[in-house]
Amino acid sequence: MTMPLEHLSRNGHLNRFFIDGEWRKPKGSARRVVVNPATEEAVCQIPLGNDEDVGVAVSAARRAFATWGRSKPEYRAGLLDRLQAQLEARSELIAQCLSLEMGAAIGYARTAQVPLAIAHVKTAREVLTAFPSVEQRRHTAVTREPIGVCALVTPWNWPLYQITAKVAPALAAGCTVVLKPSELSPLDALLFAEAIEEAGFPAGVFNLVQGDGPGVGAGLASHPDVDMISITGSSRAGVAVAQAAAPTVKRVAQELGGKSPNVILPDADLNRAVSLGIAAAFRNLGQSCSAPTRMIVPGALLSEIESIAKRAADEMVVGDPLAESTTHGAIANRAQFDRIQSMIGVGISEGAKLVTGGQGRPRGLNAGLYVKPTIFSEVRTGMRIAQEEIFGPVLCIIPYETVEEAVTIANDTVYGLGAHVQGKDMDAVKEVASQIRAGQVHLNYPAWDSHAPFGGFKQSGNGREYGLEGMLEYVEVKSILGYF
């Protein structure tokens, strides 16, 4: 089987940007090393864009918008179908790519990272088919029209998933885009651009510029011909983008940090609630902005919950991402690895009870960015580990005495992205869910829904992704009085 680097090198795309329907040489000479986190070895270099590359890409998108923005929905839907087919044909290549560039266990890449990403394309096409582009309101036509050129900035933790979550609804709405993927996991974006090209999208509709925040992200945010920018990333990055975008009064959508609670009510099935809670918190090695890393539990049941949690964490297999038996691979990059190790140390110094895990690599792993799945108990809500986003496999168990106190603890954070509630009495579960200030709440671990809008309250961001609300982010509303 062809490997990702061999494939990209053979096609000549590894050192190119995709702009105006062509694979073009970057304008500048800056480059960045891509590291395999499982070995900590450099695997290749990619070029980094600059303001000139940004200008060329935005100009291409602006020209393409003149026709793409007025194209028939049926035409755009057909292209999205072809894009989905192209991604499905590349699914194993993309899975291998994600394992290489961000350390994802190959089984997880195949069963979650790739298929969930493709689902966003399918969902955008479904939403487009029934999209309310014109609504009669008395004698007025209320129309929804594409906003224009969209800059899309995506993160390293769910690379292709976040690309499709932004690009698919933007294209479906009739917008043209310039994508800046994370420079820490940039290779899957090249495979996505190949799929766009093979699907037959017109030149300039989709453009890819690799780069970092200062070199490309800032230029996109401040560019006067960019009508909207959407970023998924850290709170720091989201603030920087909003500040850079302010002078041009463009729309800014932000999906930022989280510290999601998982409230376990007294009547919950503890074995299911706790074990699945550990799995949810540690999926993608905890490198998910909505990971429920605060488990809020009845104090009277603390000892039993600790035992179940430890058993669930200890059953996880951390190791070589390409091994079929591995459930959890390597942390995606050195900076994040160091952050996790530091915060585990903070938890110990704060006096939290270490149930399992701790600092250092798991036994038998002497190289690579591997972390022990770590659980702290007897955590107080004022501790740093209960307030700060760690973005790794580190769980805080926080006890409560009353359900009212559990809700207070759940809301005691600057974030409000996701939340979970577990219990048998569905009226009580729904009542707690209604009091949690978060953009998405999961009750008793339901199946993922690609049509469920996703986004945050408070400092977790602005705007929504996925489903109808995700496409509405990319349109302007126009009122035409006297139309009817």
Closest by CA position to 359, among listed 381, 377, 337? 337
Contact 196, 206 (CB under 8 A): yes
Are the CB atoms for 148 and 227 separated by under 8 Å?
Answer: yes
Rounded-to-integer distance, Cα 232 and Cα 249, Å: 19
How many angstroms separate the CA atoms of 376 and 396, rounded? 5
Show which residues are catalytic. 255, 289
Distance CA 27, CA 222 (A): 19
Distance CA 168, CA 220 (A): 19
- Alpha-carbon distance of 336 to 343, in angstroms, equals 11
